[in-house]
Structure 1
Amino acid sequence: MAIFQESAAEQAGAPRCTHFGGLKEKVCPASMLSLTTSHQLFYQRTVAVSGYVKEVDSHFYLFTSKEFADNFSMADSILLMGQVALLKGKAGSWVTLVGIFEPLGSLDYTDDIFRPIAKLNVQLVR
């Protein structure tokens, strides 16, 4: 019984991932809330996440909601990289994206304290 409880506790922190859409890697469904609050659990994983896309200064970002996007709540956003051409015509709408979730890294450092929490290397747009 103790072994089962330990195993369940270990798995509680791990994302649930499965095969999806013919992609090689397993995809972990995630909410914007889980990505913003527990981003370390998802780094270097392929995730599926829904959110509101907005273009800001020639870059695409995923926000929790239209209200967050309209208020430029960058600290709650994800910078979209990779196949952003797939987002053509999607700015200002709610979308589901699949991509590799990555930390911003030291090269993405700016003096702006309100920067995105991470970046998503977009592979698929739904």
Structure 2
Amino acid sequence: MSLIEKQIKTDTEEVIKQLKLLSENLNKIKRLFQGEIQGQNEETKFIAENKIFLEQKVRPKIDELQRDLDNYEKKVEEMKNKNIKQGDIKYYYEEFDIQMQRYYDFYKIIWAQVYYFVQRQRILLNKDSEKKQQLIQKLLQ
């Protein structure tokens, strides 16, 4: 195996590792907004509405991204197992760059929506007014 082939194999394995890491983190994100919201006051109703938004709008995007990650991982596995010609190397690396950037951008959008849900929930359910103010300031930064 030539040095170039070894490098391509190493790089494709790294891409696969990053795809798996993104997928694991998406599963963790989904768990953040699962479960029941207890209580009937104004604050818990607002949190429940946010949770419904995440379930209806964000969860399908998470599922879509996970399908894309799985499909791309299969494609990368196929690339790794076939003999890549010298002329195709640039194409594959450009594709890696474009796809991974796209996935990370998509992931950041999902992460931000869930992060703000979790922060709002912490703020609204926190009964300590000083701590509540600190959380609000942190969220506004």
TM-score category (smaller protein): under 0.3
Larger radius of gyration: 2
Higher relative contact order (CA 8 A, sep 6+): 2
- TM-score, scaled relative to structure 2: 0.21
Structure with the larger helix share: 2
- TM-score, scaled relative to structure 1: 0.23
